[in-house]
Amino acid sequence: MPENAFSRTGVDEPLLLLAITSNEESLSHFREIAASSKWKLTSVCGCAEARQIFEKECFPVIVTDTALSDGHWRDVLETCAKLPESPLLIVTSLHADELLWAEVLNLGGYDVLMQPFDRAEVTRVIELAYAQWTRRSTRRTVSKESQAGTAGMSASG
């Protein structure tokens, strides 16, 4: 089993994961993994529900089906890009192929998981995405603090 992302990042809070799926089998796999890990799993069935939940909570990692009842993974990616702390998007597909993988990566998604899921692969991809999001978020914070410090020095000087 891969090293837990929390031990690498020093984060004690649970990994917030949003699953956008109406596939009960997929959801069952995510629930099973979350139950034995330090993940807090939230699930919704489609784009509209996801947009509502984005107003209340920030998710570092989102896993979505390619096709949703009211949209597509591209719609989710577009919504994520507009968020202040843009989450990393992982797309799941029964028919994952090189074309889908290339499209997801080229448009700004993080990765593609093929169904049926391999527990170790799901865990590895989600925890690596979380670690990348944490590093990116930390860099933004440091950059903002640095810019604020520079601006403060200019104003006083």
Looking at 55-113, list the stretches that DSSP marks H as alpha helix, in order from N- to C-terminal side. 73-81, 98-107
Confirm whether 55 is domain-assigned: yes
Tally of structural domains, the chain: 1
Q: Structural domain of residue 100, as residue ranges? A: 13-147
Instruction: Please give the pLDDT value at position 5.
Output: 39
CB 99 within 8 A of CB 77: no
Confirm whether 5 is domain-assigned: no
Residues 74 and 5: their CA atoms lie apart, in Å, by 27
Residues 113 and 142: their CA atoms lie apart, in Å, by 32
Task: Identify the CA nearest to 117 among candidates 97, 93, 88.
Answer: 93
Confirm whether 103 is domain-assigned: yes
DSSP letters along 20-68, please?
A: E---HHHHHHHHHHHHTTTEEEEEESSHHHHHHHHTT---SEEEEESEE
Instruction: Please give the pLDDT value at position 138.
Output: 83
| DSSP three-state, residue 131 | helix
Confirm whether 6 is domain-assigned: no
CATH number of the domain within which 107 lies: 3.40.50.2300
Q: What is the pTM of this model?
A: 0.83
Confirm whether 69 is domain-assigned: yes
Name the pairing type of β-strands 71-72 and 15-20. unpaired
Confirm whether 2 is domain-assigned: no
Name the pairing type of β-strands 67-68 and 71-72. antiparallel
Residues 93 and 112: their CA atoms lie apart, in Å, by 7
How does pLDDT run along the chain (157 residues), one tens digit per residue? 233 333 334 456 789 999 999 999 999 999 999 999 989 999 999 999 999 999 999 999 999 999 999 999 999 999 999 998 999 999 999 988 999 999 999 999 999 999 999 999 999 999 999 999 999 988 766 655 666 555 555 555 5
Confirm whether 8 is domain-assigned: no
According to DSSP, the residues that pair with 113 across neighbouring strands are 92
CB 68 within 8 A of CB 20: yes
Instruction: Please give the pLDDT value at position 137.
Output: 84
Q: How many angstroms separate the first and last alpha carbons of the chain?
A: 54
Confirm whether 154 is domain-assigned: no
71: tokens are 């949209």
